[in-house]
Amino acid sequence: MNRGDSPGLAPWACWPGRSRGRRFAEPAAATRDAHQRDRDRIVHSNAFRRLVYKTQVFVNHEGDLFRTRLTHSLEVAQVARSAARELRLNEDLVEAIALAHDLGHTPFGHAGQDALHACMTPHGGFEHNLQSLRVVDHLEQRYFAFDGLNLSFEAREGILKHCSPRNARRLCAAEPDGPARRFIDGTQPSLEAQLVNLADEIAYCTHDIDDGLRAGLLQVERLEEVPLFAHWHAEARHSRARAGAGATSAQPGRRVVFETLRRLLSALIADVVQATSAAVAAVQPGDVESVRSSPPLVGFTRDQRRAVDALKAFLFSALYRHPQVADTTAQARQVVTDLFEAYVARPSEMPTDFAAAEDTPRAVADYIAGMTDRFALREHHRLTGRRVFVET
Ligand code: MG
């Protein structure tokens, strides 16, 4: 059997032997198929290692147990792989897309992204999904023959999750059949790409509850107002009551939270598998091309979709808009804005590659987007003399 003819994959999955290929042709690897190779290239990239020092919701120094972009990406990969195996989709490809999906994120999470987008608005804007593609296509510099990681079309298709029509037209002008084409044609990406998108949502909904409780910004009593949480919380407490004297007594509150969240996580994954299997069975796509021309097929059941939306609305108002989070957000925006202005005024403050670029604002955006939280703070102090987020 040829490498890439994977008998375990469904006909509608991405078969590595049928990949649309890479931008620069390369001989096949001796021991790995196309999408294993994609995943390995991402794991060895500089941008991947930087994710460990990038904020998800909470700034890195706030505590060692909060999610970072790296642990978030690993959790997305775990969720996506679980569902992919059940659905007979390509696990290596979902892992590659999951590990790469946030490579383009700026330091300081969404606050950093919003600030950089505001700075870049007169120069074409800044979109983090597009930036993730830019990282794997151009900014990583490791090979003699090309810039970027030269990933497969299928990996790049999954990484470019969203794209504005204007940027889609610009990307298509350079690469007519590239991953931006679907935003003009209105078609869908592979099931692997659709699955990672939903796995991202599942991962952050559950882990942000955990981080929010740990930070003391959310309370279990308030979370009880959210039916999805209340349901699994009741289940966890009943299970503890049934265990009676046999229940482990240390940290009972935390254990109930973990038991709640692991039930919630399993239930969401099971729901996606069920709803997606039904949608695929109804459409019967013959191959991945037929997936691309079908409506979206990966999703929750209708009731679960509503329940997840209610949870997201709660997290949005109670956690992401919490005054304490908003305070760090305002400071983070200031850091990114100050850095942008400083480098545009004096490009020579950046490393030579960036300083010499023809398009200074874009080079500044690329440089800032690649920074970890702590490197951005050090540069900010060096360039402005001010200290922000001083550890206490
Ligand atoms: Mg994400």
Query: pLDDT at position 392, please?
Result: 44
Query: Is residue 138 predicted with pLDDT exceeding 60?
Result: yes
Query: pLDDT at position 106, please?
Result: 95
The CATH homologous superfamily for domain 192-320 is: Hypothetical protein af1432 (1.10.3210.10)
Query: pLDDT at position 248, please?
Result: 74
CA of 144 to the centre of ligand 1 (A): 31
| Mean pLDDT for the chain overall | 93
Summarize pLDDT for 118-130 with one digit per residue, the tens.
999 999 999 999 9
Query: pLDDT at position 372, please?
Result: 93
Contact between 253 and 233 under an 8 Å Cβ cutoff? The reply is no
CA of 352 to the centre of ligand 1 (A): 31
Higher pLDDT, 213 or 1: 213
CA of 248 to the centre of ligand 1 (A): 34
CA of 200 to the centre of ligand 1 (A): 5
CA of 2 to the centre of ligand 1 (A): 34
CA of 363 to the centre of ligand 1 (A): 24
Query: pLDDT at position 382, please?
Result: 97
- For 359-366, what is the mean pLDDT? 98
CA of 4 to the centre of ligand 1 (A): 28
| Helical residues (DSSP H) of 69-164, grouped into ranges | 69-87, 91-100, 109-120, 128-134, 153-159
pLDDT band for position 391 (cuts 50, 70, 90): low
CA of 150 to the centre of ligand 1 (A): 22
Q: 10 Å Cβ neighbour count for 261?
A: 20
Q: What is the DSSP string of 78-105?
A: HHHHHHHHHHT--HHHHHHHHHHTTTTP
Q: Any idea which of 223-227, 240-244, 298-302, 309-313 has the lowest mean pLDDT?
A: 240-244
CA 291 – CA 351 distance, rounded (Å): 44
CA of 371 to the centre of ligand 1 (A): 17
Query: pLDDT at position 5, please?
Result: 59
Query: pLDDT at position 1, please?
Result: 43
The token pair that represents 355 in the structure block: 């300083």
pLDDT band for position 55 (cuts 50, 70, 90): confident
CA of 31 to the centre of ligand 1 (A): 30
CA of 374 to the centre of ligand 1 (A): 20
CA of 62 to the centre of ligand 1 (A): 20
CA of 110 to the centre of ligand 1 (A): 11
CA of 72 to the centre of ligand 1 (A): 7
Q: Any idea which of 76-90, 102-116, 194-208, 244-258 has the lowest mean pLDDT?
A: 244-258
Query: pLDDT at position 243, please?
Result: 84
- For 195-223, what is the mean pLDDT? 94
Summarize pLDDT for 147-192 with one digit per residue, the tens.
999 999 999 999 999 999 999 999 999 999 999 999 999 999 999 9
Domain-by-domain residue ranges, the chain?
A: 19-186+323-384, 192-320
**CA distances in angstroms from 333 to 149, 224, 381, 386, listed in the order given:** 30, 33, 15, 14
CA of 270 to the centre of ligand 1 (A): 20
CA of 315 to the centre of ligand 1 (A): 15
CA of 307 to the centre of ligand 1 (A): 20
CA of 164 to the centre of ligand 1 (A): 18
CA of 29 to the centre of ligand 1 (A): 30
Query: pLDDT at position 59, please?
Result: 63
CA 253 – CA 250 distance, rounded (Å): 9
Summarize pLDDT for 78-88 with one digit per residue, the tens.
999 999 999 99
CA of 290 to the centre of ligand 1 (A): 27
CA of 157 to the centre of ligand 1 (A): 16
19-186+323-384 belongs to which CATH class? mainly alpha
Contact between 50 and 65 under an 8 Å Cβ cutoff? The reply is no
Query: pLDDT at position 62, please?
Result: 64
Q: Any idea which of 30-39, 279-288, 322-331 has the lowest mean pLDDT?
A: 322-331
